[in-house]
Amino acid sequence: MAAKQNSGFRVICNSVLRKNLVNLKKYIAELKKRHVFKAGLAYLIGAWVLTEVSALVLDTFAVPPYVMKTILIVLVIGFPIWLIFSWVYDLTPEGIKKTHKSDPDTLKSPVINHRLNRTIIGLLSIAVVLLVVNQLRISTNNSENKAGNRTPDEIATAEKPIELIAVLPFFNSKSDPETDYLGFAMADQIIGGLVYLQNMVVRPSASIRQYEHQRIDPKTVGEELQVDYILIGNYLKEDNVIRLNVELIHVHSNEIIWRKPLQVDFQSAFELQDIVAKEVIAGMNVQFTQKELSRIRKNIPHDPLAYEYFLRSISYTYTNEGDQLAIKMLEKSIELDSTYAPAYYHLGDRLHRNAIYGSPNSEEALRSENALLKALSLNSEHMGALGNLAMRYTETDRIMEAVELTKQILEINPNSAEAHFSLGYIYRYTGMNDEAIHEMEKAIALDSKNRVFRTIIITYLFAGEYEKAIEAGRLFEESAFIFEIQGLALFKLGKNTEAVEYFNRVIKLDPDTGEATVSSSTKAFIEGNPEEALSYAIQFEQFQIADAEAWYFKSFLYGMQGDKEGCIRCLRKAVDSGFFNYPLMSTDSYLDPAREDPEFQKVLQKAKEKHLAFKERFF
């Protein structure tokens, strides 16, 4: 009985299925008879053609984007309406008539079929033409983008390979403490002018200071600095005249490209920057634009004594004592001449260094920022001031402003190593660690001897590449900062004995600095003195460092000691002040003692939100 019921059910199902298939075939046949498929295809091709034509026309006349959006919306809405229309109506020689299914004579005729075919073929032909035109337009735009809408001499400039040059401190032919400062100061000023040339990378002043007051072998020094050309010379100041003998030497061939004697009144010493820059450009056959050359000439001092104070300030070394002496000289210079942008830039730079590495306090950090802003008000394209201010903004939760300043530098000189490093610095603060390493390594590839670039070792440390942090530190001159980060990298690797050795070097070199305090705290922790370690952490928190990243190090020290409250307090300050390296914060095991605390999670969530917002905007 059940078998009969199942058999009957299958018969009914098969019958219904066959009936549905028959109906579907009839429906499809009806669609074909009414040419709905062809009408739909014609509509889609026509809509695409209309879209392409609209894009070309609207782009030409700079019509607002919402017009194009409106056209697209209308075309999308019109498609189903067109399909219904083609089903219900027929376009005949007598006009539009309603099609009746029951009347075969009223079905669309072969004439209509031919019309649709011709329409489709015509639209396809237009589509092919538009595709060709659009491809040519894209190709043209790509060519224009490569040229960057530049003038012919700028385009020619881009085709010239980048040359590397070092301007060494000039040797005083008649050594005198009253005039020895000129050797380094004049070289620094020439370097400051050459940085505006896109097809030349000039080693920074910090890289060439080690050759001050020395007679050198150009080929040896050129190989040490990894450059193609060396500019060397000697000078003599007698009465109110500076006599300068300059040589441009090609390192690889050891050939003297040119040798020239120059003479200027001491009151016009600033003219040497422009004179020597022109000779270097000609001797190296570097192509340049008039705009680049005009940037070199922008900074002209108006008081000879003020300029002398300025040159003396430049000659002081980058040490805590040197920074203090330089600040005093620059303040004297500005008192006499308040219109010279480089004086404000160097004052801002020295104050910033003193606020970070010397006796940290927020007042000097603010003075530094104001000096840099003043420099830019006098010369909006001063690359040193732009870069230094970008760094300052990065450290104080003004990331977007920092990015804009860095972009401005790259517009002035796309091959600026400082600008690429500045981008890397910004990326480190925002948690884009891989991108930070990429930009910083690009900067070092352009200028491997720039002392400022040594902070790449922090980037390696934060990215968990501890061996690289240690190795990269060896590329730069030994300092308390280098030893501190190398020690922390060794500590992270579990090499505590070696880490303590590095921390001892820091404490011996600069016992009263932030680096020494961090080193002392970590060393005490390793040696099993938690109370001493915590006291140093508390001491480090008292340092008034206007740098968000420093607060992360403070949080790290408290977390290492298991002080949840201190760890969370300092981490919150770091995030609120602009350091939101979320990947680092979410994986640093030394923050684990506070990690489960709800307040810690709130801070971490805020860092994550800021990190993702930055990533979404710029990547």
**Tokens at 605, concatenated:** 């969530």
Q: How far apart are CA 581 and CA 171, in angstroms?
A: 46
Would you say residue 5 lies in a domain?
A: no
Instruction: Tell me what the mean pLDDT of segment 244-260 comes to.
Output: 89
Task: Report the amino acid identity of residue 316.
Answer: Y
DSSP characters over 551-616: HHHHHHHHHHHT-HHHHHHHHHHHHHHT---HHHHTT-GGGHHHHTSHHHHHHHHHHHHHHHHHHH
Q: Are residues 168 and 290 in the same domain?
A: yes
What are 234's strand-pairing partners?
Answer: 171, 245
Q: How far apart are CA 539 and CA 559, in angstroms?
A: 15
pLDDT interval class at 81 (50, 70, 90): confident
The mean pLDDT value of the chain amounts to: 82
pLDDT interval class at 139 (50, 70, 90): very low
Would you say residue 135 lies in a domain?
A: yes
Check residues 192 and 333 and name the one with the higher pLDDT.
333
pLDDT interval class at 281 (50, 70, 90): confident
In the 8-state DSSP scheme, what is residue 170? P
Check residues 504 and 223 and name the one with the higher pLDDT.
504
Would you say residue 29 lies in a domain?
A: yes
Q: Are residues 121 and 184 in the same domain?
A: no
Q: What pLDDT was estimated at residue 147?
A: 40
Q: Are residues 134 and 174 in the same domain?
A: no
Return the exposure string of 376-385: e unless at least 16 CB atoms fall within 10 Å of the residue's CB, then b.
Answer: bebbebbbbb
Q: What pLDDT was estimated at residue 105?
A: 46
Q: Which of 297, 324, 350 is the last residue of a domain?
A: 297
Q: Give 267's contacts (C-beta < 8 A, 6+ positions apart).
A: 240, 304
Q: How far apart are CA 119 and CA 129, in angstroms?
A: 16
Q: Are residues 53 and 109 in the same domain?
A: yes
Out of 67-81, 182-196, 312-326, 562-576, least confident range:
67-81
What are 264's strand-pairing partners?
Answer: 242
Out of 108-122, 238-252, 495-509, 517-531, least confident range:
108-122
How far is residue 516 from each of residues 254, 482, 510, 521, 540, measured CA to CA in Å?
A: 45, 12, 6, 9, 9
What CATH number is given to the structural domain containing 171? 3.40.50.10070
Q: Are residues 217 and 270 in the same domain?
A: yes
State the residue for tokens 């050797």: 183
Out of 361-370, 519-528, 587-596, least confident range:
361-370
Q: What pLDDT was estimated at residue 482?
A: 96
How far is residue 327 from each of residues 183, 236, 341, measured CA to CA in Å?
A: 20, 27, 15
**8 Å CB contact between 581 and 431:** yes
Q: Which of 297, 314, 338 is the last residue of a domain?
A: 297
Q: Are residues 186 and 251 in the same domain?
A: yes
Instruction: Tell me what the mean pLDDT of segment 393-401 comes to.
Output: 87
**Tokens at 116, concatenated:** 């649709």
Check residues 248 and 447 and name the one with the higher pLDDT.
248
How many CA atoms, within 13 angstroms, populate the side-chain half-sphere of residue 21? 6
> Is the pLDDT at 413 greater than 50, yes or no?
yes
Instruction: Tell me what the mean pLDDT of segment 570-583 comes to.
Output: 95
Q: What pLDDT was estimated at residue 365?
A: 83
Q: What pLDDT was estimated at residue 109?
A: 52
**Tokens at 564, concatenated:** 């949840």
Q: Are residues 95 and 219 in the same domain?
A: no
Dihedral pair phi/psi, residue 319, rounded to 5°: -130, 170
3 state DSSP class of 416: coil
Q: What pLDDT was estimated at residue 17?
A: 59
**For the segment 180-237, what is each residue's pLDDT rounded down to a tens digit?**
988 898 888 888 888 888 888 888 888 888 888 888 888 899 888 889 999 998 998 8
**Tokens at 584, concatenated:** 């680092």
What are 322's strand-pairing partners?
Answer: none
Would you say residue 519 lies in a domain?
A: no
**Tokens at 446, concatenated:** 């352009």
Q: How far apart are CA 441 and CA 405, in angstroms?
A: 20
Q: How far apart are CA 543 and CA 13, in angstroms?
A: 86
Q: How far apart are CA 595 and CA 589, in angstroms?
A: 9
Helix axes 383-395, 362-378, angle to 10 degrees: 150
> Is the pLDDT at 357 greater than 80, yes or no?
no
Would you say residue 282 lies in a domain?
A: yes
State the residue for tokens 């035109």: 133
Total domains in the fold of the chain: 2
What are 89's strand-pairing partners?
Answer: 98
> Is the pLDDT at 153 greater than 60, yes or no?
no
pLDDT interval class at 155 (50, 70, 90): very low
**Tokens at 603, concatenated:** 């801070």
Q: Which of 297, 327, 351 is the last residue of a domain?
A: 297
Q: What pLDDT was estimated at residue 102?
A: 46
Beta-sheet pairing, 229-238 with 241-250: antiparallel
Q: Are residues 206 and 292 in the same domain?
A: yes
**For the segment 314-330, what is each residue's pLDDT rounded down to a tens digit?**
889 888 889 999 999 99
Instruction: Provide the phi-psi class of 232: left if phi over 0, else alpha when psi is between -120 and 50, else beta.
Output: beta
**Closest Cα to residue 354, out of 398, 318, 397?**
318
In the 8-state DSSP scheme, what is residue 494? T
Tell me the pTM. 0.63
Q: What pLDDT was estimated at residue 515?
A: 93
**8 Å CB contact between 172 and 235:** yes
Q: How far apart are CA 610 and CA 572, in angstroms?
A: 13
Long-range contacts of 129-136 (CB under 8 A, 24+ apart): 130/49, 130/52, 130/53, 133/56, 134/52, 134/56
> Is the pLDDT at 9 greater than 60, yes or no?
no
Q: Are residues 138 and 177 in the same domain?
A: no
Q: Could you list the residue range(s) of the whole structural domain that residue 279 is in?
A: 163-297
**For the segment 47-62, what is each residue's pLDDT rounded down to a tens digit?**
777 777 776 666 555 4
Check residues 526 and 297 and name the one with the higher pLDDT.
526
pLDDT interval class at 148 (50, 70, 90): very low
State the residue for tokens 């012919």: 152
Would you say residue 570 lies in a domain?
A: no
Q: Are residues 195 and 114 in the same domain?
A: no
3 state DSSP class of 286: coil
Beta-sheet pairing, 89-92 with 95-98: antiparallel
Q: What percent of the chain has pLDDT over 90?
A: 41
pLDDT interval class at 457 (50, 70, 90): very high
> Is the pLDDT at 335 greater than 80, yes or no?
yes
Q: What pLDDT was estimated at residue 591?
A: 95
Neighbour count for residue 70 (Cβ, 10 Å): 11
pLDDT interval class at 531 (50, 70, 90): very high
Q: What pLDDT was estimated at residue 14?
A: 60
Neighbour count for residue 170 (Cβ, 10 Å): 24
**Closest Cα to residue 522, out of 498, 542, 546, 543?**
498
Q: What pLDDT was estimated at residue 150?
A: 40
Q: Are residues 174 and 80 in the same domain?
A: no
pLDDT interval class at 562 (50, 70, 90): very high
> Is the pLDDT at 107 greater than 50, yes or no?
no
Would you say residue 308 lies in a domain?
A: no
Q: Are residues 132 and 187 in the same domain?
A: no
Instruction: Tell me what the mean pLDDT of segment 136-163 comes to.
Output: 45
pLDDT interval class at 104 (50, 70, 90): very low
Check residues 355 and 306 and name the one with the higher pLDDT.
306
**8 Å CB contact between 313 and 333:** yes
Q: What is the CA radius of gyration of the chain?
A: 36
Would you say residue 383 lies in a domain?
A: no
